[in-house]
Amino acid sequence: MKLNKTIIDVGACKGDDSSFYLLKGFDVIAVEANPNLCEEMEIKYKESVDTGVLKIINRAIHHQNDCKLDFYINSFEEWSSLNIKSKATTENSFEKIQIQTISLDKIIGQVENELYYIKIDIEGGELDAITSLKKSQRLPKYLSFEVNPDKNKVLDILTEIGYVDFKIVRQGKGYLQNTHAQQEGNVIDITFKNHHSGLFGLDLGNNDWFDKNHIIEYFDNLYKNGWEGWYDIHARIK
Mean pLDDT of 25-47: 97
What's the whole-model pTM score?
Answer: 0.95
Q: Which one has a higher pLDDT value, 227 or 52? A: 52
Q: Which domains does the chain have, with CATH numbers?
A: 5-237 (3.40.50.150)
Q: What was the pLDDT predicted at 129?
A: 92
Phi, psi for residue 7 in degrees, rounded to 5: -115, 135
Q: What was the pLDDT predicted at 92?
A: 85
Which helix (H) or strand (E) is 93 found in, with range? Answer: none
Burial 41-53, CB ≥16 within 10 A → b, else e: beeebeebbeeeb
Q: How confident is the model at residue 183 (pLDDT cuts 50, 70, 90)?
A: very high
Mean pLDDT of 61-79: 88
Q: What was the pLDDT predicted at 144?
A: 98
3-state DSSP assignment of residue 173: coil
Largest CA distance in the chain: 50
CA angle 125, 159, 219 (to 5 degrees): 65
Q: How confident is the model at residue 235 (pLDDT cuts 50, 70, 90)?
A: very high
3-state DSSP assignment of residue 228: coil
* CA pair distance 123, 129, nearest whole angstrom: 11
User: How confident is the model over 103-117, as pLDDT tens digits?
Assistant: 999 999 999 999 999
Q: How confident is the model at residue 86 (pLDDT cuts 50, 70, 90)?
A: confident
Please provide the average confidence, as pLDDT, over all residues in the chain. 93
Mean pLDDT of 156-169: 97
Alpha carbon 83 to its chain centroid, in Å, reads 17
* CA pair distance 29, 27, nearest whole angstrom: 7
Q: How confident is the model at residue 191 (pLDDT cuts 50, 70, 90)?
A: very high
Q: What was the pLDDT predicted at 206?
A: 92
* CA pair distance 119, 12, nearest whole angstrom: 9
